[in-house]
Amino acid sequence: MHNWTTLSKNELEELREQLEKTYAGYISQNLKLDMSRGKPAGTQLDITNGILDALDNYITEDGTDARNYGVLDGLPEAKKLFSDLLGIPTSQIIIGGNSSLNLMYDSMMRLYVFGTQGHLPWCKQGPVKFLCPSPGYDRHFAICEDLGIEMLNVPMTEEGPDMDFVEELVKKDASIKGIWCVPLYSNPQGICYSEETVKRLANMEVAAPDFRIFWDNAYGVHPVYKEEKLADIFEAAEKAGNEDRIYYFFSTSKITFPGAGVSLMAASTKNIAEIKKHLTIQTIGHDKLNQLRTVRYFKDAAGIHHHMEKLAAELRPKFDIVLETLERELGDTGLATWTKPMGGYFVALDTLEGCAKETVELAKKAGVVLTGAGATYPYGKDPKDTNIRLAPTYPTVDELTLAMELFCVCVKLAGVNKLLKEA
């Protein structure tokens, strides 16, 4: 089949008729499939069940009773584990509760209410803006929206955010206070920031002295096909004298259990001291038994990497289905383009302009729930209505096969409808 965008009206009408029949066939199957969120499947979680019995005792290496109060910023052995895994000194790490999103939200709240390093709180600086490389993670954008922080779209390139665009904005506008980044296997495109991008983010001239990069390394050790290297943002920022610019986040939500993992935040020692000043008011400490459970289960960084290979083996067939179905069904139609991520949790597809919403709606009517069209953009508004996030991890292989076939029918149907409207 040739590129559909060059077909005649008659050919398109014929195609539409066929597609509508196929689509009706799916409708009659009463499907109920969910590809909307980056949730691991039960079978994936089973791989980690051993962690539930990993807590052989509750005394830490330094003799602390992990059942009791105390240790605000995390057990030394938990810091050590993640320090080795991520190459960040233990002195720059705070271990949190079960959610890195919570750490990000709280960090934003502190900046908003207290400010940082002597600068005025953001709530007292008048309107404040944030850069949002898009498509991106909807929950990042929701934090800004909750606080009334104005979001500015930043286009993505194959190397990360468009740095020419970013540099131009931040150097002249002091009300731009930060940028959201998922630097490795980005959500939703699976893009890995190049060394050059990391360097430019660390070095760029910013008008706001209280500018912060929210570095959400959510998929930092999550290859599916190939382990990509991420340049060390702290090293680059330190060299540039900008080490206070970085707030780094990580969690084991997609390493152990999404509902019961361990999160962490890392920052310059100056920032860590500032954060702990407020953190010690907010809590006496996070769940140390769960920290200990995690340490005892993995033992060391190599233990986590080995574990991630098992998870990758579980995920690979699912990513294969998505990518193979897209290639087979849409490969030469000209109706869509998509990314081929080496890891992470998502595949991002772009339809013809103005077709994403209709595609998602068609899939929904046939019983397949996708991430809402627009969700990957600030305010839920995809300016060209093209981007759809595919989350292949939760359904079974059989469900996913069916869902992806239906999805491609929907992409085609929405695409043909558009072409016919314009024909």
Q: Among 31, 84, 90, 105, which residue sits at the site for a copy of itself (rule: CB under 8 A)? A: 105
* Nearest partner of 248 among 176, 289, 198, 189, judged by Cα: 198
- Which C-beta is closer to a copy of itself: that of 59 or that of 302? 59
Cα gap 44→195, rounded to integer Å: 32
Min CB(39)–a copy of itself separation in Å: 5
Distances 126 to 86, 175, 215, 255 between C-alpha atoms, Å = 36, 8, 25, 40
Q: Among 187, 252, 290, 371, which residue sits at the site for a copy of itself (rule: CB under 8 A)? A: 290
Min CB(286)–a copy of itself separation in Å: 7
Residue 189 is which amino acid? Q
**By the 8 A CB rule, do 256 and 78 touch?**
no
- Which C-beta is closer to a copy of itself: that of 37 or that of 357? 37
What x/- string results for residues 227 through 266 when contact with a copy of itself is judged by CB under 8 A? --------------------------x---xxxx------
Cα gap 119→223, rounded to integer Å: 39
- Which C-beta is closer to a copy of itself: that of 142 or that of 231? 142
- Which C-beta is closer to a copy of itself: that of 55 or that of 420? 55
How many residues are recorded in the chain? 423
The interface region with a copy of itself, picked from 103-111, 186-194, 340-348, 410-418 by CB under 8 A, is 103-111
- Do strands 347-351 and 336-338 pair parallel, antiparallel, or not at all (unpaired)? antiparallel
Q: What is the largest CA-CA distance in the chain?
A: 78
* Nearest partner of 364 among 27, 15, 41, judged by Cα: 27
Q: Counting contacts by CB under 8 A, is residue 178 touching a copy of itself?
A: no
The interface region with a copy of itself, picked from 86-94, 96-104, 191-199, 301-309 by CB under 8 A, is 96-104
Q: Counting contacts by CB under 8 A, is residue 312 touching a copy of itself?
A: no
Q: Exposed, middle or buried by CB within 10 Å (0-12, 13-18, 19+), for 227? A: middle
What x/- string results for residues 53 through 72 when contact with a copy of itself is judged by CB under 8 A? --x--x------xxxxxxx-
**By the 8 A CB rule, do 44 and 314 touch?**
yes
Q: Counting contacts by CB under 8 A, is residue 37 touching a copy of itself?
A: yes
Q: Among 146, 158, 168, 327, which residue sits at the site for a copy of itself (rule: CB under 8 A)? A: 146
Distance linking the first and last C-alpha atoms of the chain: 19
Cβ neighbours of residue 229 closer than 8 Å, sequence gap 6 or more: none
**Residue ranges binding a copy of itself (CB under 8 A):** 37, 39-40, 42, 45, 52, 55, 58, 65-71, 97-99, 101-102, 105-106, 109, 112-113, 123, 139, 142-143, 145-147, 253, 257-260, 278, 281-290
